[in-house]
Chain A
Amino acid sequence: MRYTPAEFMATVIAREIGDGEMVAVGTLSPLPAMGAFLARETHAPRATIIILGSDDWFPLTGGSKEFHDLGQRGRFDLFFLSGAQIDQHGNINLTVIGTHQQPRVRLPGGAGSAVLYFMARRIILFRPEHTRRTFVPRVDFITSPGSSPPRIFRPGGPSKVITPLATLRFNQEKRRLELATLHPGVTLEEVEANTGFPLYPPSPVPTTPPPTPEELHVLRTRVRAEMERVYPAFARTAFLSATG
Chain B
Amino acid sequence: MRTVMREKLCALQDLRKWVWSGMFLAVGGGPLRITPMALLREVLRSGVRDLDLLVTPTGGLGVDMLIGAGVARSVEFAQIVLDEFGMAPHFRRQAEAGRLRCKDHTCPALLSGLQAAAMGIPFIPVRGLIGSDYLRVRPEFKVVQDPYSGEEIVVVPPLAPDLALIHAIKGDRYGNLLLERTEDDQLLIRAAKRVVASVEELVEPEELRRSPEGVWVPSLYVDAIIPLPYGAHPTDCRGYYPIDEDHIREYLEASQSPEAFQEYLERYVYRAADHETYLEVIGSKATPA
- Residues of A bordering B, CB below 8 Å: 27-28, 53-55, 58, 60-65, 68-69, 71-72, 95-96, 100-106, 108-119, 141-145, 148-149, 151-154, 231, 233-234
Contact = CB atoms under 8 A, between A and B. Distances in A.
Contacts of A58: 182
B78 A53 contact: no
Closest 7 CB pairs of A and B: A115-B128, A112-B107, A102-B98, A106-B95, A145-B131, A63-B184, A108-B81
Contact of A115 (B102, B126, B183, B184): B126
Grouping DSSP codes into helix (H, G, I), strand (E, B) and loop, the A interface class, with mixed when no group exceeds half, is loop
Interface in B120-161: 126-134, 136-137, 151-153
Given A112-B106, A112-B108, A234-B84, A152 B187 contact: no
B78 A100 contact: no
A69 to B, nearest CB: 8
A100 B102 contact: yes
A55 B78 contact: no
A118 B111 contact: no
A204 B247 CA distance: 53
20 contacts: A28-B84, A62-B186, A63-B186, A64-B58, A64-B183, A68-B111, A95-B104, A103-B96, A106-B91, A106-B95, A108-B87, A109-B79, A109-B104, A114-B132, A115-B106, A144-B132, A145-B132, A151-B151, A151-B152, A152-B130
B52 to A, nearest CB: 17
A121 B128 CA distance: 13
B182 A111 contact: no
Interface of B: 30-31, 33, 57-58, 77-81, 83-84, 87-88, 91-92, 95-98, 102, 104, 106-109, 111, 114-115, 126-134, 136-137, 151-153, 181-187, 215, 238
B76 to A, nearest CB: 11
A69 B115 CA distance: 11
A208 B80 CA distance: 35
Contacts of A105: 92, 96
Contacts of A108: 79-81, 87-88
